[in-house]
Every structure is written in C-alpha cells, then in structure tokens.
Amino acid sequence: MESYIWVQTLVGLIIATASALIMLAMGLSHALFWAFIIFLASYIPVIGAAIGVLIPPLFGLVEFADPLYSLILLIALELVHFIVSHVLQPRMQGRSLNLDPVVVLFALAFWGCSGA
C-alpha cells in the first residue's frame, strides 16, 4: 500500500508541475493554486487528475478574452495527464509493485470499464 501511495504522489507531482508550467506560460492567474488542486485530485483513482485538469480551462474561459486560449490550455493539460497516466504511471507502478506494466494496463482497463 505504501508503494502505491508513493507512486500516486510522484505521478500527482509530475502532472501538477507540468500543468503549472503550462498555466504560467499561458498566463492563467492562480496557476499554483490550480496545480495544487490537480495534485490533490490525482489521488482519486482513474478519473481524479482527468477531472482536475478540466477545472483551470473552465476558469480560463472567464479570464481569457479569446476562448481559443482555454481550448489550447485544455488540450495541453489533458495531453500531459494522458501521457503521464497512460505511459509513465503504469511503468512506475509495475516497478514499485513488482508487476509487469502490461498487467497494470489490463487491470486499469478492466476495472475502468467494469464500473461503467
């Protein structure tokens, strides 16, 4: 259990840090606050970080004059989340839990689809 929490913490930090850099580059105010929210949301299995990265672009719609900036922000944040959650996280979990990454991906796919 400790290894799983450690991996989730590292994944959350990676997603939050990359998201903060993107938000700062795009000029979104309160980027560190949004990054902290994304970090906390990443502890919710499967959908936490995905939902966390949806919130800043919604507030970007209010802040930015052009809605295209919010769309670009949404795409960039979701791309970071997708790459980290679907490439890096299974490798990290596989190594820390002594599981093959393919087994981790199949487990995520199975349990993610069976709840719907």
Q: Could you give the CA distance from residue 32 to residue 54 in angstroms, rounded to a whole number?
A: 15
Residue 113 predicted with pLDDT over 70:
no
| Global confidence as pTM | 0.78
> CA torsion 40→49→76→58, rounded to 10°?
-80
Cα separation, 49 vs 105, in Å, equals 17
At residue 115 the predicted structure's pLDDT band, cuts being 50, 70 and 90, is low
Q: Quick one: average pLDDT of 51-67?
A: 92
Gap between the Cα atoms of 90 and 87, Å rounded: 6
Q: Give the Cα separation of 63 and 32 in Å (integer).
A: 16
The angle subtended at Cα 89 by Cα 73 and Cα 4, nearest 5°, is: 125
One-letter amino acid for residue 59 of the chain:
F
Alpha-carbon span 10 to 28, nearest angstrom: 24
The residue with tokens 């052009």 is 66
Query: Looking at the predicted structure, is the pLDDT value of residue 102 above 80?
Result: no
Q: Which amino acid is at 104?
A: V
Which sequence spans correspond to the domains of the chain? 2-114
* Tokens describing residue 49: 């970080």
Tokens of 72: 């670009």
pLDDT per position as a tens digit, 11-34: 899 999 999 999 999 999 999 999
Could you read off the pLDDT of 70-93 as tens digits, one per residue? 999 999 999 999 999 888 887 887
**Residue range 98-112: average pLDDT?**
73
The mean per-residue pLDDT over the stretch 43-69 comes to 89
